[in-house]
Amino acid sequence: MRIDLAGRTAVVTGSSQGIGLAVATGLAEAGARVVLTGRGRERLDAAADGLRGSVPGADALAVACDLTTERGEEQLYEAVPAVDVLVNNLGVFASRPPLEITDEEWRTYFETNVLSAVRLIRRYLPGMTDRGWGRVLNVASDSAIVIPAEMIHYGMSKTALLAVSRGFAKEAAGTGVTVNSVIAGPTHTGGVEDFVRELVGDDLPWDEAQREFMRRHRPQSLVQRLIEPEEIAHMIVYLSSPQASATTGAAVRVDGGYIDSIVP
């Protein structure tokens, strides 16, 4: 399958590393102009430079802004007023005993993982519908449907993101714009490596630690390994393409084949 996104502008939030950077790279390989976002200018510029180095001829713009705030959303819009593909990847996660999660932490998870996406959809969706073409992808998580006991605040935010995706898909019905969520399973990033070590300890070699984490904490996974960021990116690039024009309002899974769970 040849995916051609030449002439399209794609914004990927939280894209200085990990899944976001893999998605931005995949979109650039398909010919899109990509906009990377993050709070740290130095790391963001390094990510954009690395992308240009790995994808010859890539058109990559770095916009440093804090998208957990209204001002950050305004800064992004001022820099990039028209977007064809919006990938809401920005998110935070950590483990915490349920009864120790504070009101402030609940609010932080909702504002970062949900409200930041809502603001950008609200900003960019009207332009997409006016032009008769657009793609909105919200990066959710298997934690949305199999809530981990050690991070229910994170699971709550990702469940909410599924509802956000479905609702905005209905708003965009019949316009040529699709809105979908991608349910990502545990993915091999630096932050997840730290998370795995936090739960299983530092004594085991990484390959064994990964397997032990999956066995003890994510036993529903059929692949029984962490997913690589590029595997998430492949799905998002496809859903961003003209070939995915009939897929909207969906929760598409790249979660390692989770069993005993239902997505409405």
Supply the residues annotated as catalytic. 154
User: How many residues appear in the chain?
Assistant: 264
Alpha-carbon span 90 to 111, nearest angstrom: 11
**End-to-end alpha carbon distance in the chain:** 29
Residue 144 corresponds to which amino acid?
A: A
- Residue indicated by tokens 């479905």: 166
Alpha-carbon span 181 to 250, nearest angstrom: 6
Alpha-carbon span 127 to 121, nearest angstrom: 10
- The radius of gyration computed from the CA coordinates of the chain, to the nearest angstrom, equals 18
Alpha-carbon span 67 to 59, nearest angstrom: 22
Nearest to 122 by CA among 60, 67, 40: 67
Are 121 and 135 in contact, with CB atoms under 8 Å apart? Answer: no
The pair of structure tokens assigned to 208 is 């064994």
